[in-house]
Amino acid sequence: MFPSMKSRFNKTLALLSLLLALAPQKLPAAEMGRPNVVLIMADDLGYETIGANGGTSYKTPALDRLAAQGVRFERCFVQPLCTPTRVQLMTGAYNVRNYITFGQMDPNLVTFGNLFRDAGYATAVVGKWQLGRGVLDLPKKFGFDESYLWQHMRLRPRYANPGLELNGVEKDYTNGEYGPDLLNDYACDFITRHKAKPFFLYYPMTLTHYPYQPTPDSPGWDPRANDEKVNVRPEHFGHMVEYMDKLVGRLVARLEEEGLREKTLVIFVGDNGTKLGTPSMMGNREVIGGKGTTTAAGMHVPLIVSWPGQAATGKVCPDLVDSTDFLPTICHAAGISLPANLKIDGRSFLPQVRGETGRPREWIYSWYSPRGEPVREFTFNKRYKLYRTGELYDLGKDAGEKSPLNAESRTGEAAKAARVLGEALEQFTKARPAHLPVTGANTAG
């Protein structure tokens, strides 16, 4: 090698070494220490509402920024209604195994709160409860050291001048306070108080659930309102989406202020689709909310994951994810082993968060009977959906499930999907425990 060429080679090598040294590295978990976990769940928020997903009706800069810095999942599906999703999310098991009825949850179940508390984490649940009204010790039984909740001990307004429960103690606010602000303040305070040790914050927000009332940023904000039947207008849904986004940004800012951002896995997800009939735009396409229905409009929700230094940056993942997958994912991130006797249907999507292939799902299963209705049981993949009753839909052509495929149409890919999805359904034929009702219990919710 000539001297001039050797000199240029050495300079190039030195530059490459410098760039590698400056590039962000994914530290092994053992070197990073146990991470904090913040799981945020918005109420009644479909996939179509978020700007990063292509939504154009509302401004969601905080979530768009999280997506740009992390991983955005295109195909996250949960149950069509809040309680069924919350039970799956907290236990990692499908509703067929443990669901009782709307607004209740079996107090003997093991949740991610129990697993994290047993692993030495400080734990808190802040936001909407609705899992057993009036049962004082239920949050603690489910593993949460601290709780600040709406609809824990009673049912009071959740927005202007709310009635909440702090660790089971009733707190009524009458000076123009806004419930989502109070809950967000507590969540941020929990982060600050526990910054010296690993913590798990489960933050099921009260926004953006109906009634669509003004937020403190709305032109029609009324600090004297003390009833959820007043000041209800359709346009307030957009205000609520944007305020929800603002609160997410405020919480992430607190993590940054405390120097915890790179030590904290942040996950944002919706609990079911947008309220039935609520319109939103995705460019020139109108999307109508389908909460409570078993179509994509009722089950397709945003999922954004951010973990600087650990998560891939700006990645869009097309893999299927469902609400049973969150428990194994956050336990995987925290190095928490799942008990051998705990039945888990979910699988960790942490590898996909890190930009790896992982073990993607081939299908999602659902057992849905929120208040004792006849069970709707089905499996689906990215293209086809099969109900226990035999209807097969081509979701690529019929997202609203208007016309099931007839026998003549079940050829090629459709025939293969029917077979695979049918085999998946068979795995759950005898999964309902004998002590539970055949359908969800028919009680008032």
> Mean pLDDT, 10 residues at a time, over the chain (445 residues)?
47 42 40 86 98 98 98 98 98 98 97 98 98 96 98 97 98 98 98 98 98 97 96 98 98 98 98 98 98 98 98 97 98 97 97 97 98 97 98 97 94 97 98 93 55
C-alpha 33/C-alpha 36 separation (Å) is 9
Closest Cα partner for 401 from 426, 376, 429, 373?
A: 376
Residue 32: predicted pLDDT: 53
Residue 27: predicted pLDDT: 40
Contacts 24+ apart (CB under 8 A), 178-181: 178/215, 178/216, 179/150, 179/206, 180/205, 180/206, 180/207, 180/215, 180/243, 180/244, 180/247, 181/216, 181/247
Locate 420 and state its tokens: 């695979």
One-letter amino acid at 308 equals P
Phi, psi at 139, each rounded to 5° = -55, -40
Contacts 24+ apart (CB under 8 A), 384-387: 384/413, 384/414, 384/417, 384/418, 384/421, 385/421, 386/417, 386/418, 386/421, 386/422, 386/425
Task: Give the other-Cβ count within 10 Å of 444's Cβ.
Answer: 7
Residue 29: predicted pLDDT: 40
Residue 407: predicted pLDDT: 87
User: Which residues does 270 contact at the CB level (< 8 Å), separation at least 6?
Assistant: 41, 42, 43, 44, 45, 46, 47, 78, 301, 302
Residue 266: predicted pLDDT: 98
Domains, the chain, ordered by start:
30-360 (3.40.720.10), 368-426 (no CATH)
Residue 443: predicted pLDDT: 52
Helices 179-193 & 236-257 angle (0-180, nearest 10)? 10
CB 189 within 8 A of CB 183: no
C-alpha separations of 16 from 4, 5, 23, 26 in Å: 19, 17, 11, 18
C-alpha 315/C-alpha 98 separation (Å) is 34
Handedness of CA 26, 30, 36, 38 (dihedral sign): positive
Question: H or E element: which one contains 34?
Answer: none
CB 105 within 8 A of CB 132: yes
C-alpha 393/C-alpha 371 separation (Å) is 26
Q: What percent of the chain is helix, strand and coil (3-state, nearest 5)? A: 30, 20, 50
Residue 6: predicted pLDDT: 45
Residue 310: predicted pLDDT: 97
Residue 2: predicted pLDDT: 44
C-alpha 249/C-alpha 242 separation (Å) is 11
Residue 13: predicted pLDDT: 42
User: Which residues does 98 contact at the CB level (< 8 Å), separation at least 6?
Assistant: 87, 91, 106, 109, 433, 436
CB 140 within 8 A of CB 125: no
Handedness of CA 355, 361, 367, 368 (dihedral sign): positive
335, burial (CB in 10 Å: exposed 0-12, middle 13-18, buried 19+): exposed
CB 154 within 8 A of CB 145: no
